């Protein structure tokens, strides 16, 4: 029973009928002698001429594709933000009664990290994906799989967002990240399955505490070990670990009194885990926080839009060849959304006079640029 707990084979039973949302495509590939299943959602805006980011969303232990889409359907967000989302199906674990697991109960039984790498290759053949912006998130054991990819497939994964899961113990023995990697966790302090303070049984540590998990990734990303804290709601606190230059790489949404939940779907309803995940991971590419190292530029030009002046005192100009309305968002370096709106013409001005002097990140159409706000 306790071993089962450590493996966190938790499946939330959604007491509603479920059918795939319009646009989900069920696919299979052959890998390692097995027929592997996945569902993929491609936004209507995709036409093959522009590379789209790719987000993997992994179900919990003992779960399946349908159960994960039921609690974490990101198709609406994908439509708005222009990315492709994939829900893979875990394989049966012969060391755990053929339960569907991403991580085998008995180590060494199988390794699904190469399967995900192969799946990326398959998707890249069929769709134009941005190979520099591949992300992973997941629930419970699916969160564990996100950590696995950040550790063992780091050359292809830009950022991860595990929900209801801390990191496996002794990461120095298996985790070898190669580049700055964004890591967001969403953890409940009263989670009895993936315990907030880690899991130790008979003197053996199986999972790190939340504090040790964040410390590991803060150290890897050369962040200050002391995070900043902001209050999101009476029951949610946001902790952010940043570099000396103000680039944030590690973030925790700490759900006070939260359980083994996917906030916004069940459990805590003051935040939406799916929204938070995309807002976080989308700010990173394979080189780290997008544009974080270019604070001194006076003008930014990319993909038919220009941003100036930068640094900016009051009015920021965004010049672009606009064929349809676009959205912009401005984030603080700790990931808080401080301004947003719509771009309706080829020449747009945004009044930033109310923002305090600081460093911000402007996001337009999946591209980000660092802004310096002056007095």
pLDDT in tens, the chain (375 residues): 344 343 443 333 333 333 334 489 999 999 999 999 999 999 999 999 999 999 999 999 999 999 999 999 999 999 999 999 999 999 999 999 999 999 999 999 999 999 999 999 999 999 999 999 999 999 999 999 999 999 999 999 999 999 999 999 999 999 999 999 999 999 999 999 999 999 999 999 999 999 999 999 999 998 998 999 999 999 999 999 998 878 899 999 999 999 999 999 999 999 999 999 999 999 999 999 997 743 333 344 444 578 889 889 899 999 888 778 888 888 886 667 899 999 988 899 999 999 999 888 887 865 667 788 888
Q: Considering only the top CATH level, what class is 2-289? A: alpha beta
First to last CA, the chain: 60
Three-class SS of residue 140? coil
Same fold for the pair 2-289 and 300-373: no
Q: What is the DSSP letter of 298?
A: S
Name the CATH code of domain 300-373 (choices 2.60.40.10, 2.10.260.10, 2.160.10.10, 3.40.190.290).
2.60.40.10
Task: Name the burial class of residue 298, with classes exposed (0-12), middle (13-18) and buried (19+) by CB atoms within 10 angstroms of its CB.
Answer: exposed
Residues 58-97: tens digit of each pLDDT: 999 999 999 999 999 999 999 999 999 999 999 999 999 9
Contact 327, 79 (CB under 8 A): no
Locate the domains of the chain by residue range. Answer: 2-289, 300-373
- What local confidence, expressed as pLDDT, does residue 304 receive? 59
Element (H, E) at 350: strand 347-351
Structure confidence by residue, pLDDT tens digits, 259-313? 999 999 999 999 999 999 999 999 999 999 997 743 333 344 444 578 889 889 8
């Amino acid at each position: 029973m306790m071993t089962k707990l450590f493996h966190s084979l938790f499946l939330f039973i959604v007491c509603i009928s479920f059918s795939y949302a319009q646009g989900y495509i069920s696919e299979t590939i052959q890998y390692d002698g097995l027929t592997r299943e996945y569902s993929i959602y491609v936004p209507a805006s995709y036409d093959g001429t522009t590379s789209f980011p790719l987000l993997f969303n992994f179900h919990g232990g003992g779960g399946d594709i349908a159960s994960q889409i039921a609690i974490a359907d990101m198709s609406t967000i994908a439509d708005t933000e222009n990315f492709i989302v994939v829900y893979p199906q875990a394989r049966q674990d012969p060391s755990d009664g053929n339960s569907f697991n991403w991580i085998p109960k008995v180590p060494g039984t199988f390794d699904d990290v190469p399967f995900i790498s192969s799946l990326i290759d398959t998707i890249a053949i069929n769709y134009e994906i941005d190979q520099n912006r591949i992300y992973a998130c997941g629930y419970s054991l699916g969160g564990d799989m996100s950590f696995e990819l950040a550790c063992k497939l780091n050359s292809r994964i830009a950022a991860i967002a595990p929900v209801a899961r801390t990191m496996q113990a002794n990461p120095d023995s298996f985790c070898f990240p190669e580049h700055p990697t964004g890591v967001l966790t969403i953890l409940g302090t009263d989670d009895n399955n993936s315990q907030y303070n880690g899991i130790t049984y008979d003197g053996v540590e199986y999972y790190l505490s939340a504090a040790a998990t964040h410390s590991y990734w803060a150290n890897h990303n050369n962040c200050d070990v002391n995070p900043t804290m902001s209050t999101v709601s009476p029951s949610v606190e946001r902790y952010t670990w940043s570099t000396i230059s103000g680039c944030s790489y590690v973030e925790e949404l700490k759900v006070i009194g939260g359980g083994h939940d996917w906030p916004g779907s069940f459990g805590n309803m003051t935040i939406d885990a799916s929204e938070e995940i995309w807002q976080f991971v989308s700010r990173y590419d394979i080189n780290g926080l997008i544009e974080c190292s270019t604070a001194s530029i006076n003008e930014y030009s990319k993909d038919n839009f220009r941003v100036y002046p930068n640094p900016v005192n009051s009015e920021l100009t965004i010049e672009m060849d606009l064929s349809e309305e676009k959205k912009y968002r401005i984030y603080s370096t700790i990931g808080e959304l401080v301004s947003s709106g719509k771009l309706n013409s080829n020449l747009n001005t945004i009044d930033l006079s109310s923002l305090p002097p600081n460093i911000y990140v402007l996001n337009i159409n999946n591209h980000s640029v660092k802004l310096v706000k002056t007095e």
